[in-house]
Amino acid sequence: MNSEVDVAVIGAGQAGLSAAYYLRRFGVEPESGFVVLDHAPGPGGAWQFRWPSLTLSTVNGVHDLPGLGFAETVGVDPHDPEAALVHASSAVPHYFATYEKQFELPVHRPVHTRVVCARGERLRIETDSGVVSARGLINATGTWERPFIPRYPGAESFTGRQVHTRDYSSAQDFAGQHVLVVGGGISAVQLLDEISRVTTTTWVTRRPPEFRDEPFTPEIGRAAVALVEDRVRRGLPPGSVVSVTGLPVTPAIRAARERGVLARQPMFSEITEDGVRWADGHEEKVDVILWCTGFRSSLDHLAPLRLRGPGGGITMTGRLATQVASDPRIHLVGYGPSSSTIGANRAGQAAARELTRHLGLPAPT
């Protein structure tokens, strides 16, 4: 791994690989000009850690990386019936591995980035494999390493199990136990459906979930991205895209409705030793609390750069809001409006283009 480069990319998920592809396309030489640092043991980004029951037919979308199609690489189209038999945790890593090899991307792993500091005109990136000095940084660390569990009174007294979506493996792990599923996102509904087939469940959310019966259109997608983009351009923490798009009503969700699984209850007010209690005094005993409460951006290694504002957000600029306003040497991809797989591709291209121009590297074609 070269210790001095023009650009360092941290993270080799969808956004990181897209950025690396465009850096090569824009004339930045691999290894001597840029490197990709990835903490994971192998290709695949966060996909390699997803639960086994997540198949190509149940994921929220797998989009092609630039220059290489997913279906022809894996041999299965996500829309084909056969996709229900293919685990996303193996198919997507295979796709990413093929992609890295075909385009000869300089991915180094496992490399854990500990901290990034400013050193004059360069950035010092300290890792467990040495120090890298770079003129610019494209950060693509995503959210998988920062599972979020909200704080509720009494959580420390609960004698049952508390697990997060990140820890989920199989519904059979909860057989014979009453499971409280917390969260109103797509993952919460998918796992609720699975678990309810083998044991009893209760579903709680902070706000009433909004289901979308009509097809997901490009207009809906653009509206969701625009709202999130507006937030980060104003320095606010990114909001939830699902709060704008709603939950798609799939055949599985329709079946869950018919089984009475989607009988949502409001959020409880506190956790007891053996369950939860609502504000009106009503209590329910549960064995497991499954927190499907999402993730936060994995940016702790950037703390010395003091990028966050008073409200906890980072003010972003640039064509697709990937550039940090206070330090144009730094781009965040997979953050805010580019957190979706399709948004990550466009963000990778925009970040690579804008950063190479800022650094005076070969002009993008």
Contact 144, 297 (CB under 8 A): no
pLDDT tens, residue by residue, 67-94: 999 888 988 876 677 777 788 889 999 9
Structural tokens at position 56: 């190509």
Question: For 20-40, what is the mean pLDDT?
Answer: 96
Contact 92, 62 (CB under 8 A): yes
CA distance 222 to 343: 10
Q: Are residues 8 and 141 in the same domain?
A: yes
Q: Are residues 313 and 250 in the same domain?
A: no
Which uninterrupted H or E stretch holds 7? strand 4-10
Structural domain total, the chain: 2
Q: What is the DSSP letter of 362?
A: S
CA distance 218 to 200: 37
Q: Are residues 195 and 265 in the same domain?
A: yes
Per the domain annotation, does 285 fall within a domain? yes
Task: Give the end of a domain, one of 291, 313, 346.
Answer: 291
Q: Are residues 276 and 263 in the same domain?
A: yes
Task: Give the end of a domain, one of 270, 291, 312.
Answer: 291
CA distance 75 to 140: 27
Please say if the pLDDT value at position 285 is more than 70.
Answer: yes
Q: Are residues 139 and 54 in the same domain?
A: yes
Q: Are residues 313 and 277 in the same domain?
A: no
Q: Are residues 166 and 141 in the same domain?
A: no
Per the domain annotation, does 237 fall within a domain? no
Q: Are strands 113-119 and 122-127 parallel, antiparallel or unpaired?
A: antiparallel
Per the domain annotation, does 93 fall within a domain? yes
Cis peptide leading into residue 110 (ω within 30°): yes
Per the domain annotation, does 240 fall within a domain? no
Residue 61 has what pLDDT? 62
pLDDT tens, residue by residue, 250-273: 888 888 989 999 999 999 999 999
Q: Are residues 11 and 55 in the same domain?
A: yes
Q: Are residues 170 and 205 in the same domain?
A: yes
CA distance 167 to 110: 21
Q: Identify residue 154 by its one-letter amino acid code.
A: G
Per the domain annotation, does 365 fall within a domain? no
Please say if the pLDDT value at position 30 is more than 80.
Answer: yes
Residue 48 has what pLDDT? 92
Q: Are residues 192 and 267 in the same domain?
A: yes
Question: For 203-232, what is the mean pLDDT?
Answer: 82
Structural tokens at position 91: 């198919």
342 or 100: which leads in pLDDT = 100
Q: Are residues 160 and 182 in the same domain?
A: yes
What CATH number does residue 114 fall under?
A: 3.50.50.60
Percent pLDDT > 90 in the chain is: 69
Q: Are residues 86 and 125 in the same domain?
A: yes
Please say if the pLDDT value at position 189 is more than 80.
Answer: yes
55 or 129: which leads in pLDDT = 129
Residue 180 has what pLDDT? 98
Residue 141 has what pLDDT? 96
Distances (CA, A) of 215 to 112, 220, 246, 256: 41, 9, 11, 19
* C-alpha 310, offset from chain centre: 24
Please say if the pLDDT value at position 144 is more than 80.
Answer: yes
Task: Give the end of a domain, one of 291, 323, 345.
Answer: 291
Structural domain harbouring 178: 155-210+246-291
CA distance 204 to 208: 9
